[in-house]
Chains A and B, each alone.
Chain A
C-alpha cells in the first residue's frame, strides 16, 4: 500500500470546494434567461379534477406560462413507470396504474402535481400559483395498506382492483409447513416497519433548458443516476431522443435512494422550457420534499420462526403487506420483493423459508428504495424475532444466533441468494469484545441503583450489494442491466482522468477512485481526476445506489486500468527494447525488472501521443474503456450492539454505547468507509427512536417539516465504536463488498432489542419515542 493507494486513509480531494462554499449544486446553476417554476399541487389525498382555470394566474405579474396535464398529454409526454416487473403468484403481471407527470383527471395524494407556473421570479411564480383555480370533487382516501386491501376501501387506480398491485411469494410453502410441524418451539410476532422520509439535506431541484436552434435539451438535476434519467426520459417519457438530451447531475447533496427516481418535475420542466421558450428552474422547498420525495419502508408483517429442541432454526414464515403509495415509483416493486425477501435467511442456516408479499396502493406519497431498501425491513423482522425467541427459550441472544450461523461457503439459501463468503463468528466476537458484552450485568446493576433501566440489544445483519448481475436481475423482472462503465484516459503529460458511470453525492468517489490509480501506477492522487455525472462526458452508466459504486463501479475502473497497464507496458518495452513481460510499474516509473532501465510514466504517455516511436501497428493514444457486469451479489454482514439507559419516569432513551462490527471485504479508504457506517447508523437510530411519517385519516401529511418530523440531531446521538473484520469478496477483482447501507440496515433492531430488554416489554414499535416507551413501561405494571 502506497501513501495514497488501496487501504490508505487519504483525505478527500473534493473537500476543498465544499468547505469554502464552492460546491456547485443544481440550485446554484444560472443560465441566461432563466425563469422559475412553481408547481400547483393537490391539497387533497384523493379527488377528481373537475375544472382547472388558469386565466387569473396568467394575468399575474411576471408570469410566462401556466401549463396543465392536458397540454402535456397533447404533446405526447408519457406516463411515469415502474421499471421492474413483478408477477403475482397466479402468474399475472403487476397492476400498474397510470401516473401522469401532471394529473389530468384524478389526484391520488397530497402533493400530486397538477399545474406548473413559470414566472420571472420564484416569488411571482408562487403568487401566481395561488391564483390557479382548480375545482376538485373530493373522494374518500385510504392511508393504511391494511385498510386499503379491505372490501369497500376507496378504489385508487382502475387498473388495480381492490388496490392490490401484486400478491407475490418466494420460497417453498410446503417445505416450510412441514418444518413447522416438527417444531419444538415457534415464536410469532407482528411487526411494523415505520414509514420514513429520506431527507437528503439538499432538496430536489431541476433546471430544464431547451435550445430551439439545436432542438436540444439540457437537464440539470439532483440525481444519483443521470444516465438512467436520460434513458428513461427518452425511451419512456418521450421528452427527447437520447442524443438530443443531456442530463447533468452536478454536486448532489445526498440521496439515500430518494434521488434515484425520475420524478414529474424533471420531465415537466424540460417540456415547459420548450413550451415557454425559456430555461425553467424548479427547487423543492422542504415541505414539498416531505410531500413528494419517495418515502421508504412502511411494511406490516406477521412472522413465525420455528426451532427444534436443540434451538436450531427449522423454518421461517413471513406474510408482509407493503405500502407503495399512490403510484408505482421507478424501482418500487423490487424493494419489498427481491431486495427484501431474498435476505430473509439472514446469517442463519435456515432450511425452509416461505414469504408472501402483497403490495398495495394508498393515498400517500410513492414509496421506493430508501437507504438499505428492503434489507432493513428483512433484518428488522428477523433480528427482532431471533432476539424474542432467545428470550422465550431462555438462552443468550448471542448464543442462539451463533448456534444457527452459516459457517460453510458458498451457501445456497432457500430464497435465491448464494452467499459467497463471510465469517459471522468473527463479527459477533469482535462486537462483543468492543461492547464489553460480558460486563453488561454489572453496568445494569449500577444503572438500577441510579434509577435507570439499562438494556442491551444485538443485531446480526446480512445484506446484498454489488447490484447486480444483469442477466440475473433481468430474469427477475428488472428493466435495466446493472453493470457499470469506466473509461481511463491517460493524458499526453501522464495525468489521468477516470470517467465513471457511478455518481458521487457524498461518497467521496473523487478520492477513492483515484486511489486505484495511485495503487496501480504509483502516481500521486493530485494527478488523477474523476469525472462523473454528465451524460455528455460519460457515455453510459447505471449510477450509485445499493452500495454498488465500490463493488461494481470500481471493478469497471480496474478492468479499464488492466487495459491501460497492458498498453503502457507494451509502449515502455518498445522504448527500452525489452520484453513487455519484464516491465513493472512502480512509483510512476516503468522499469525493466532486474535492470536499472526505466522510463518515467509521463514519458511513456507522451510517446503514446507523439506516436513517433510506437510498436508496429499500435494505435496512438492511451485511453481504455470497460463495462463490468458482476458475477454475483456481494454479501456485507456484521454484528451491531446497542446499549441504552431508559428513564422510567419519562420514557426517554439514551444510547450509552453503539458498537458496529462489519465485514465489508477489502477496504479502499477506511476513513470514508467509517464515515458511511456512521451516517447509516444515525439513520437507523433515527428510524428506531425518532422518525416516522404520519398521515391523518384524510391523507394530510402531519410530519411535513422539520418542526414535525424528528430528524436525528447531534445531541440525539452518541459517538460510535466502529471496527471491521475482513473476508474478501471472491466475486470481484478488488474483493470488496459495499458499505453504504449497512449502518441503516443493522442498527434499528439492535436499538429496539436494547430498549425492550431494558423495560421488560417486548411490545414496542418504532419510533420508540419517550411516549411509546413510557406507555410500554406502564403496560408492564
Chain B
C-alpha cells in the first residue's frame, strides 16, 4: 500500500491506496472527485487531464504514488468559487460541449494550451495542441472556437496582443 499526501484543489489531503492505483482512480474513487473521467485505457483520449504542479497531465499515465507531494488541480477546482474560469465560460458560450464526458479533460488541457501560448493562438495551433483529447460529439468546431475565444480574453485581460 502507498501513503499519499498531496494538495488537491487547494486542500491538503492524505490517503492510502494500492501501489498499482492510477492517479485518476485515486482522484475518482478515494477523493470522490468524479469530474475527471476515464475514456480509454491507452492514454489516448484525454478525458482524465488534470493539472499536476501546474502542467496538464493525463492522470491515467501516473500512479497515485508518483504524484505524492504534488499540487493538483482538477476540473472541480478550476472555477473561483461561483465565478467560472474563462475557459469554462468560453466552452459554455461557444457551445463547446454536448454530452460533457470529454469536457473536463478538454477544458483542463485548453487552460494549459493557453498558458503555454501567452502570445495568442491560431486555429491550426489549437487543433494540433488538442490532438491528445478526443471528442465524439462536437466535431471539434466549437471547441476550437471556445479555446480561441478564451485565449483572446486571457490575453486581453493581461494587456497583451491577441493572435
Contacts and interface: CB of A to CB of B under 8 A. Distances in A.
Interface of A: 11-12, 14-25, 27-28, 30, 123, 199-203, 251-254, 256, 283, 285-287, 505-508, 671-672, 674-675, 678-683, 705-707, 711-715, 717, 719-720, 743
Given A202-B37, A254-B136, A714 B95 contact: no
B68 interface: no
Nearest to B40: A286
Interface in B74-108: 74-76, 78-79, 84, 88, 91-93, 95, 97-104, 107
B117 interface: no
Given A21-B75, A200-B99, 9 more contacts: A11-B93, A19-B103, A20-B76, A200-B101, A506-B98, A678-B138, A705-B42, A713-B133, A719-B144
B98 A507 contact: yes
Contacts of A507: 98
Contact of A254 (B40, B74, B137, B139): B137
A27 B103 CA distance: 16
Given A19-B88, A200-B136, A715-B127, A508 B141 contact: no
A745 B51 CA distance: 38
Interface of B: 18, 20, 28, 32-42, 44-45, 47, 74-76, 78-79, 84, 88, 91-93, 95, 97-104, 107, 123, 126-128, 130-131, 133-144
A705 B40 contact: yes
Contacts of B36: 21
A743 B98 CA distance: 15
Nearest to B34: A28
Given A21-B35, A675-B142, A683-B136, A201 B130 contact: no
Contacts of B102: 201, 253
17 contacts: A11-B93, A11-B95, A12-B92, A15-B97, A15-B100, A19-B100, A23-B103, A25-B101, A27-B38, A201-B101, A201-B102, A203-B38, A254-B101, A506-B98, A679-B136, A683-B136, A719-B144
B42 A707 contact: yes
A706 B37 CA distance: 16
Given A675-B142, A683-B136, A21 B98 contact: no
Nearest to A507: B98
Contact of A706 (B40, B78, B103, B127): B40
Given A18-B100, A253-B99, A678 B134 contact: no
A714 B137 CA distance: 12
Given A27-B38, A678-B141, A713-B130, A18 B97 contact: yes
A19 B41 contact: no
A201 B45 contact: yes
B40 A15 contact: no
Contact of A715 (B38, B101, B130): B130
A28 B37 CA distance: 9
Contact of A714 (B34, B35, B92, B133): B133
Contacts of A674: 95
B98 to A, nearest CB: 4
B143 to A, nearest CB: 7
A16 B123 CA distance: 25
